[in-house]
Each structure stands twice: as structure tokens, then as C-alpha cells.
Structure 1
Amino acid sequence: MENRRIQLIVAGIVFAFLWASAAAATKLGLRAVQPFVLFVPRFFLAAGIMLFLSHGVLKKRLPRGKEWKQVAVYGLFNVSLYLGIYVVGMMEVSAGLGALATATNPVFISLMSSIWLRRPLQPVTILSLALCMAGIGVAAWPLLADSYATPLGLGLVLFSMITYSIGALYFTASKWGDLHIFTINGWQTLFGGIFLFPVMIGWYEPAANDFNMLWLLSMLWLAGPVSIVAVLLWLFLLKDNPVKASFWLFLCPVFGFAISAVLMGEPLSWWTFAGVMLVVGGLYLVQRARDKS
């Protein structure tokens, strides 16, 4: 029992660190190449690894019938729109703010769930959203003044969270049968990359891309530790206890700002601390309400 508890704690901490590191890896990669040049190869690499594991190693079946449509639609929202809009927004947003915004996903999912199911918005959902938005605003205030973020960039990153929430709700509402999670994730990531490939080609400017070691390391980190390892750890935590797993998301803003400060030299202040605490408070309220329901 004690070993299991230690495994869960280690898995939770590593998951939160890897998930939060995505924003810093994205910012570093954007110093070398254009947004879609950084992300589209990442999608293809991650999809190739997951599909090899699913079909080549585990011998899991292919999607069939309407499942092909489901993985394509899921890939459109969960990869093409969510991460496509996110990486464009990250061109004008600090890594710390990007990680902080990503941590608000559970609140946006709760909001979009009410809209999706046509249920009245609960006061706790409104309060949670208000706290999260206030927290992002407080943390962003000094960064806007110091040119570490722009209103447009913040708006795009937050809008990408809405598309992610729609994708998450679509995934929950769809019937997947015995389709393996590697199969779903592999094919939806591949479709997401395919949908964005024409955008990458249309936006491509040779002079704006330097395929150096910074690009390679960023792309490999996003494809491996973030897209595969972090997701596997998340599934491991969810399988043990979905309620407890969600609380590891609270560490993501903390790790996000810490990583951005160390790697990117982004400033930390009392504004940062206050913003993180407001977002964590919003996450706690929406998580507690979900636990009760």
C-alpha cells in the first residue's frame, strides 16, 4: 500500500512538471521556427509512436465505421484548433502565463458542459471562472507592461481553452467501444496534424525558420515527454482515482512559472503569486463542486 502511494505521488509530480513544461518548450521552439513548423512535426512524430505501440506492439484493432469520423472530429478540436490557436497565441504570451491559462481547462470544461447540456450555470462555475480570469489578469498585469504578453495573445490562448473543452465534451459524449486509448490518441493526433499541414505550408517562410538544435529539442520534448509520457501518467492517475488525479493540476501553474523563470528568465513577483493563488482557488471550487455531484 505504501509503495502504491509513493508511485502515485511521484506520478502526480512528474505529470504536473511535464504538463507545465509544455509552455516553456513552446516558447523556446518559437525562437527558432514558426508556430506550425514547431507543432505539426510534433503531432506526426507523437502520432507515429502511439500508433506503432497500438497496432504494431499491442496489436489493437483499427477504428471502424463511424469511429473514423469520431477520431477525426476529436482531432480537429483537441489538436488542430486547440493547439493550433494556442501556439499562435504563445507567440505573444510568456511561458508562465501560458501554463497558468492551460491550468484553467477544468473550469472551461465545466462552463462548456453547462452550455452543451443546456443546464443553468451554477453559481460555483461562474465564481470559479471569475477567479481564474482575475488570476490570469493579475499575473499578466506587470507582464503586459514589460512586453512579456499582449491582450491579443492572451485572448487567443484563452479561446484555445474553449476549443479544448468542446473536444473533451465530444470525447465524453462519443461511444468508443473497446477502441484502445493509444489508438484514439494516435489517430486523433495524426488527423490533427493533417488538418494543420496545409496551414503550415501556406504560412511557411523559409527565412523565418532555423532548424537548429533548439527547434529539435523543443519538438522532441513536446512530442515525447509532453504528448506521450504526461498523457500516460495522467491516465494512470485517473485509473486510480479521478478525483484525486484532478488535484495534481493545481501544481501546473506553480511549475509553469518556476520553469519559465529558470529557462526563460521571466520575472516573478507578488502579482505572479497572487494570480496563481486566484487560479488555484477557482480550480479548487470547481473541483469540489464536481466531487459533490
Structure 2
Amino acid sequence: MNPRLLMMTVSTMLVAGLNFPIGKMALSFGSPFILLAIRFIGAGLLMLPFILKRPHPRSAVSWLKVATIGLFQSALVMTGIYISMKTITSGSSSILSSTNPIWFIVFSALVLRTRYHALQWVGVAIGFAGVAMSQGFQLDWQVGFWYALGAGMAWGLATLLTARWGKAYDSYVLAAYQMLFGGILLLIASPFFEQPFFVWDPSQLFREVFIIGWMILMSSIFQFITWYYVLRNADPAKANAFLFLIPMFGALSGWGLLGETLHWYTLAGMLCICLGIYLVNRPVKNALTAAKEGGFRTLESAK
């Protein structure tokens, strides 16, 4: 990966990690569904002028698939994360929800009957051990824990759906409309699942405008566009390995911005989850491929 793509990849992961403490700060003046509806509808509308001339879905089924991805990616994932941060730290939420690559391999094996190498299943086991360790092995029924873990599961399903359907769409069109659909669904659901509120505090106006602006411009538009650019111009397998930086940046930014405590077992669990995610995403060559490549290199050296 060249230095430019490396910088873009790391900056995307940094923004993804910062989303957690920024989101927790936003909860002081808005309810989760309303905040996320503003974020995704605002980001989708800002992207519309730039995607109008790009290829759009043409059938009702295609639009339904985009809406389904929006339901999981924008609505369920982020709702789980924001609600979880009402009862657990932003660092814990980032660690638990970032288990999505582990859930991806589990769901793809169960739903699509995809076969994975033993090393990848070892990564799944290490990742789940890291989840337990990050919580001090006290997996009680604390609601925030389950919401954050549920967000990771929804994220894994969203990745599975995007991997299966996403190639049929322009990536920027998909990003914009899945956010719009997700934001509209959240706006409709808000009165049924929460006590909606959004309050501008004149004494905190700059802070609140900055947070909303960050959520729309950085957390949504910048993050999606930069990540899609990296995936188009770099090896996706190598790029995905950087996802393990999200829980690290999330935990560290929660400690730096919100003063959240970093327990030793939280850090140990985070490292286990990172290792598990790395093993899950690590490309494994089968013996036949390795033999062929070895033979090719031998022939090349003989020349």
C-alpha cells in the first residue's frame, strides 16, 4: 500500500474510532434516533447533487436491496451503538461493536455455507474470548453490553449483504441512498422507540454545531467516500486488516476526550479482538495454490 493510501486508510479508521466519544457527547442534547436521523439524512442530501449523474438502481427489487442495507448498516448498527453508550463507556461500545468482522464469518458460514480455513475459526474463538476479557469476564445482562454486541452482529450482516449485492451498484450511489433510507427509517421509528428530543443550548451552541457537523461531514460523508476509494485502489484484504484499529482508536479517544477509565482487562480484551479480527481477515492460501506459486517462482528463477 502506497503512503497516500496508507494515510487515507489510517485517517478513516481514526475517524471511525472518534465517532464513539463524539456520539456520546451528542447524546447530551439529542435522543439517539433523532441524532442519527439528522446525521444520515443530512449526509445523504449533501451527497445527492454529486451522484445524480451516476448509475442508479432501475428496479423496485434493486431499491429494496439498498433500503435493506440501509436498515442494517445505518439504522440498526448505529442505533445499537448510540443506545449502548447510555449505560456503558464509548470505549467499551467501540470494542464490542467492532466485532463485526467476526460475526461476518459466522453468518456467511451459516447462511451462505461458506467454508473457511481453520486459522480463521481460531480467530473467531480468540475474538469472542476478547469480548469476554474486555468486560472483565463479567458478562451480565447490562443492557448496553447487549446493544453494542447486537450492533456488531448487525454490522456483520450489513457487510454480508453489501458483499453479496453491492457489486451491482455504484458505490457512491449506494452509500448516499442507504444513509437516506436508514435516516428516514430512524425518523419514522423515533416516536415508537424513544422519547424524541433535540435541544439547542445557546451556551453550548458552538460545541453542538461542531458535533452535528462532525457527524454529517466526517463520520458519514468523509468516512464512506475515503473508505470506498481505498477499497477501489488497494488490496481489499490488506485494507480490511486495518479495521482492528477502530476499537483501539475508540477506546483511546474515549479515554482522551471523555476521561473514561482504561482497565487492564479492557486493553487485553481489545488486543485479543484485534488479533481475532486479523486472523479472520488474513488471506489463507491452500496447498495447491502455494504449490503452483512455488513452482512458478522456481521456473522464473530458472530463467
TM bin, normalised by shorter chain, reads 0.7 to 0.9
Superimposed CA distance per residue, residues 246-279 of structure 1 (whole angstroms, 9 cap, x where no aligned partner): 1211222221121111111001232232112111
Tell whether 2:50 aligns with 1:53: yes
Task: State the match for 2:189 in structure 1.
Answer: 199
* Superposition deviation, residue 119 in structure 1: 4.6
Q: Name which of 84, 102, 105 aligns with 2:100.
A: 105
Could you tell me which amino acid in structure 2 is paired with residue 45 of structure 1?
A: G
Q: Is the 8 A contact 1:47 1:189 kept in 2?
A: yes
Q: Name which of 171, 176, 190 aligns with 2:162.
A: 171
Query: Percent sequence identity over matched residues?
Result: 25
* Superposition deviation, residue 156 in structure 1: 1.2
Cα 1:292–1:25, aligned 2, differ >3 Å: closer, same or farther? farther
* Superposition deviation, residue 18 in structure 1: 0.5
Structure 1: runs of 5 or more not aligned: none
Q: Name which of 236, 244, 247 aligns with 2:238.
A: 244
Superimposed CA distance per residue, residues 77-134 of structure 1 (whole angstroms, 9 cap, x where no aligned partner): 2222222233222222211112212332111111111011135676444432332232
Task: State the match for 1:128 in structure 2.
Answer: 123
Report the Cα distance in structure 2 between the residues aligned to 1:134 and 1:171, rounded to whole angstroms: 27
Cα 1:121–1:175, aligned 2, differ >3 Å: closer, same or farther? closer
* Superposition deviation, residue 22 in structure 1: 1.0
* Superposition deviation, residue 175 in structure 1: 6.5
Structure 2: runs of 5 or more not aligned: 287-303
* Superposition pairs of residues 269-288 of structure 1, within 5 angstroms: 269-288=263-282
* Superposition deviation, residue 19 in structure 1: 0.9
Could you tell me which amino acid in structure 2 is paired with residue 157 of structure 1?
A: A
Report the Cα distance in structure 1 between the residues aligned to 2:144 and 2:42, rounded to whole angstroms: 27
Q: Is the 8 A contact 1:38 1:215 kept in 2?
A: no
Report the Cα distance in structure 2 between the residues aligned to 1:173 and 1:120, rounded to whole angstroms: 16
Q: Is the 8 A contact 2:120 2:281 kept in 1?
A: no
Report the Cα distance in structure 2 between the residues aligned to 1:292 and 1:87, rounded to whole angstroms: 39
SS in 1 for 2:113: coil
Task: State the match for 1:262 in structure 2.
Answer: 256
Could you tell me which amino acid in structure 1 is paired with residue 274 of structure 2?
A: V
Report the Cα distance in structure 2 between the residues aligned to 1:62 and 1:244, rounded to whole angstroms: 29
Could you tell me which amino acid in structure 2 is paired with residue 169 of structure 1?
A: L
Q: Name which of 108, 116, 131 aligns with 2:111.
A: 116
Structure 1, 215-224 or 116-125: larger mean CA deviation: 116-125
Q: Is the 8 A contact 1:40 1:196 kept in 2?
A: yes
Could you tell me which amino acid in structure 2 is paired with residue 97 of structure 1?
A: S
* Superposition deviation, residue 204 in structure 1: 5.5
Q: Name which of 173, 186, 193 aligns with 2:176.
A: 186
Task: State the match for 2:228 in structure 1.
Answer: 235
The structure with the larger Rg is 2
Report the Cα distance in structure 1 between the residues aligned to 2:210 and 2:273, rounded to whole angstroms: 30
Report the Cα distance in structure 1 between the residues aligned to 2:224 and 2:242, rounded to whole angstroms: 13
Structure 1, 77-86 or 90-99: larger mean CA deviation: 77-86
Task: State the match for 2:37 in structure 1.
Answer: 40
Report the Cα distance in structure 1 between the residues aligned to 2:228 and 2:115, rounded to whole angstroms: 30
Let me know the Cα RMSD of the aligned residues.
2.5
Could you tell me which amino acid in structure 2 is paired with residue 180 of structure 1?
A: D
* Aligned length in residues: 280
* Superposition deviation, residue 74 in structure 1: 1.4
Superimposed CA distance per residue, residues 148-202 of structure 1 (whole angstroms, 9 cap, x where no aligned partner): x97221111111222222222222222754x421211111111111112122234
Could you tell me which amino acid in structure 1 is paired with residue 178 of structure 2?
A: Q
Task: State the match for 2:87 in structure 1.
Answer: 92
Task: State the match for 1:221 in structure 2.
Answer: 214
Q: Normalising by structure 1, what TM-score?
A: 0.86
Q: Normalising by structure 2, what TM-score?
A: 0.83
Could you tell me which amino acid in structure 2 is paired with residue 259 of structure 1?
A: S
SS in 1 for 2:86: helix
